[in-house]
Amino acid sequence: MSLSEIMTIIVLFHCSDYRTFKKSYTGFIKEYHGEAFPEPVSYNRFIELKASALIPLCYYLNLKKGKATGITFVDSTSI
């Protein structure tokens, strides 16, 4: 599994409504997006590979963040 595939799966999890990564990977990714990831690895192996994607993912997300304008929006809705 390539680094870009690992990074994509991590981002997809954070954009989804799944509460656990295991359920997201085994259910959503492998079942519904198998054609996008032709050589999926087991869940345990993916967890081992996630560590190798941390620094490249942080670098990529840092490149894509917008310019700070000084304006902040705060939501006061109680959680």
Where in the sequence is the domain holding 60, given as residue range(s)? 3-64
Assess if residue 43 is contained within a domain: yes
pLDDT bin (cut points 50, 70, 90) of residue 38 is confident
79 in a structural domain: no
Query: Is residue 75 in some structural domain?
Result: no
Is the pLDDT reported for residue 43 higher than 80?
Answer: yes
Does residue 74 fall inside a structural domain? Answer: no
Q: Which residues are CB-neighbours of 57 under 8 A, at least 6 positions away? A: 7, 10, 11
Establish if 77 belongs to a structural domain. no
- Average pLDDT of the residues in 29-35: 84
The pLDDT value given to residue 79: 66
Count of domains forming the chain: 1
Q: Is 70 a domain residue?
A: no
**67: region left, alpha or beta (phi > 0 left; psi from -120 to 50 alpha):** beta
In a domain, 69, yes or no: no
Is there a domain that residue 73 lies in?
Answer: no
How confident is the model at residue 55, as a pLDDT?
94
